[in-house]
Amino acid sequence: MEIDEGKYIAHVRKKEHDQWDEPHYLYNHSAGTAMKAEMFAEKFKSGSWAKVIGWGHDAGKGREFWQEYLKTKSGYLEDASMENKAGRITHAIYGALLAQEILGKDAATPITYCIAGHHAGLPDGSTGNGAGLGALDYQLSNNTTKDVAEMFTEQIKVLAKDLDVPFKFSRDSISFSLWIRMLYSCLVDADYLDTESYMTPERNAERGKYCSITELLCRYNDFNVMMMEKSKDTQVNCIRREVNKKCIKMAEQAQGIFSLSVPTGGGKTLSSLAFALNHAVKHNLDRVIYVIPYMSIVEQTADVFRNVLGDDQVVEHHSNVADDNYTDKMRLATENWDAPVIVTTSVQFFESLFAAKPAKSRKLHNITKSVVVIDEAQLIPVEFLNPILSTIQDLTEHYGVTFVLSTATQPSFSKKISSKTTLSGLKQITEIMGEQDEVKSLYNSLKRVNVKIPKELSTPISWEDLAVELSKNKQVLCVVSTRNACRQLHGLMPEGTYHLSALMCGQHRSDIIREIKTKLAKDEPVRVISTNLIEAGVDLSFPVVYREIAGLDSIAQAAGRCNREGMITKGGTVVVFIPPKKIPSGILKKAADTTCSILRDTQEDVLSCEMFERYFEEYYWRVNKFDKEDLLPLLKISSEDSSIYFRTVAEKFKLIDDNQKSIIVYYGNNNDLIEELKVTGPHRVLMRKLQRYVVNVYQNVFSVMLSQDSIKEVHPGIFVLSSNLDYSSKIGLIVGTILYESKDLII
């Protein structure tokens, strides 16, 4: 069949002076998307599948009805690609249906899901799970391909001969659903890029232009030599150098899953970067991705890496980055992670792995052939451990990903942990620091604190008595588990005591931490009452730290803020205390109960490796529910309706409670930004700047504040404090004390 390559149009645009440019022909767009998708998917040996998907994704545009719609709607009347226009008619289902007719229902499964969802998102397979009219089976049964251009039928028939059927994964495994999500990622990124190359070629030209991994390793090595020459030969620095050398040596190992167990202050951040870059060069990998739980650590880590690798070589991807801090190429790299070093949040990374929408899924294929460092791995949400660990295992085995689980308190993710739990552990984890004796020796050598445990773990101390104790110290940090406790205790402390909690906006917390660091460096009096937001990765060092009873990992993280540089030769002091109010039932209570249980029955060093092993084994036994939303069954082909429920899983996999509401507060010099929001409305640059001034509260708090006119809706869904009187420069957002009795206010 002779193909008229210029018969059908995919996109149109205007040049200057209202002149129409040459159209983006459908044949060229389909070929370009197929070529890019094939190239992306070759990284996991699925290029032939991605090529078919790319060719068929816009087959629905090869219909006279759709062509007439394009020409009338855009019509050469306005600059448009038509994908996101209001009132647009669908075209995605036709290519999916065509593939099913050519290959058969079962063989076409990955193709139909990808093509059908390439604009609206991966669908649920069946209406049987409440998916409604958007379900794949409904769409397929209510459309026809009779008027689709014949060139797509012929092209798919030819390309289908190269498909490796049967599938490389069992249809009833989650490996199959992850494979579909990876193919989907290849398609949507290829589609975006090919469309962009026509619609906005100047934007497309800005992509990339980063150093290679090899060049970045050279920069790291130069920095490392400089640091070795500058740093003093203290015991801590000598240990950090040994950790670094070990990481570089172990980078020669084969790809897999590694743990990096190094006590706080042992130089994990730079040493893990050394491992990642050396390992990536050794195995010809494309990028290094850092996954970090807290925003403050993301920003801190990105700053460290920029200092080592260059300001324009590290892409931060999270909501708090202001556009002022982005170059054009960095802003573009956040869309698909096409950069050699990405620093992102746990929420961004893990929710993307289970996403259904195109924008969130687009980056997935660029996780392949990478080193992923999960910092503070013990903070992976326990309620989602099974789907997360199963996906980590799959990415390691089938997508060329090396994982590094980096933490001072290594969780027990091995399949061998215990027969008592339902945890789907990882098959094999290699410890970078060596055998258990070597790790134990490292922890002993970096021991810098003495932990005091109360004799009676059931006897609480009042806030008043605790405040008296704390006030006797010139420099002291006290970490509590709830916002309410933080405010109560802070209110009993001497004037000048600092308060830190998530009821302070990000900019406020950063400013306070900067002040605290300055006072510590000058050896001035400084007392701090904080929730656990200060525990992981915040580079502060106090001689004395108090910690409310909690999970042993949390106690260890608090201890990491004590005598961090080992300057107190006899060791810093960490005091564990029992609060006056019982911890509400839930994950935090189970963690605290586990700690109490093992502390009652031991004479060992509280922060030893052996104690962490015992703690996590018993903690996981107490939890014993690692897939709270029962996602894994939804990610397998159902025997009842032969469906995968992509959209339902994406809606259920939420690491941040949807019950929280965002409020923009008045702080510092942001009045002009808020006025701009009120006058001109929200836009991307402005909203990114305002992210630094947002406080999230639970629905009960939000409702009361709204009823009291403490907040106003300045634009649909955007709420701002009515007055700067409702925000304190000392403690943040001010709301009625009665609201803090809810267990929802645990941080």
Cis amide leading into 166 (omega within 30): yes
Alpha helices (runs of H) in 450-586, residue ranges in sequence order: 463-471, 483-491, 506-521, 552-559
Please state, as a whole number, how many other Cβ atoms lie within 10 Å of the Cβ of residue 693: 22
For 332-343, write each residue's pLDDT tens digit. Answer: 767 889 889 999
Which has more confidence, 686 or 133?
Answer: 686
Lowest model confidence (mean pLDDT) among 184-188, 258-262, 415-419, 430-434: 415-419
Position 738 confidence tier, pLDDT thresholds 50, 70, 90: very low
pLDDT at 548 over 60: yes
pLDDT at 372 over 80: yes
CA distance 50 to 261: 39
Three-class secondary structure of residue 721 per DSSP: strand
The predicted structure's pLDDT at residue 331: 66
Which has more confidence, 745 or 64?
Answer: 64
The predicted structure's pLDDT at residue 18: 67
Q: Which of 7, 68, 5 is nearest to 31 (CA)?
A: 5
pLDDT at 648 over 70: yes
The predicted structure's pLDDT at residue 4: 66
Averaged pLDDT score across all residues of the chain: 88
For 415-429, write each residue's pLDDT tens digit. Answer: 666 566 688 889 999
Exposure of 450 by Cβ count < 10 A (0-12 exposed, 13-18 middle, 19+ buried)? middle
Average pLDDT rounded to a whole number, residues 225-241: 87
The predicted structure's pLDDT at residue 201: 86
For 75-106, write each residue's pLDDT tens digit. Answer: 544 444 545 444 467 889 999 999 999 999 98
pLDDT at 737 over 50: no
Please state, as a whole number, how many other Cβ atoms lie within 10 Å of the Cβ of residue 62: 26
Which has more confidence, 67 or 732?
Answer: 732
